[in-house]
Amino acid sequence: MSEHGEVSDSTTEADEVDGRTTGAADRAATPEEARMADQHGDALTDSVREHEEEMMETGANVKGEGEV
C-alpha cells in the first residue's frame, strides 16, 4: 500500500484491460490531409527549427542511461 491509499477495483480492472490491448496504427492520411501537410510542412518558425536542430544534436550525442 502506498502513502496515497489503495488502488480502486475499477482502476485495477482498467489497467488489466489496457494490458491486454494491443496497439494499432491509425488510418493513412487522406489525399486532402497529405496535401495540407505538404503545404504547411515548411511553416516552422526559426526558433522552432533551431530548437529541433539542438534536440537532434543532443539526442545523437547522448551518453549514459538514456542512450539507446
Mean pLDDT, residues 4-11: 88
Average pLDDT, the chain: 85
The β-bridge partners of 2 are 5
Instruction: Kindly compute the dihedral angle of the four CA atoms of residues 27, 31, 33, 39, in this order, to the nearest 10 degrees.
Output: 140
CA distance 7 to 11: 7
Alpha-helical runs (H) found in 1-68: 9-20, 31-40, 46-60
Model pTM score: 0.35
Q: Each residue of 39-50: pLDDT tens digit?
A: 887 777 888 889
**Highest averaged pLDDT of the listed ranges 13-22, 35-44, 56-65:** 13-22
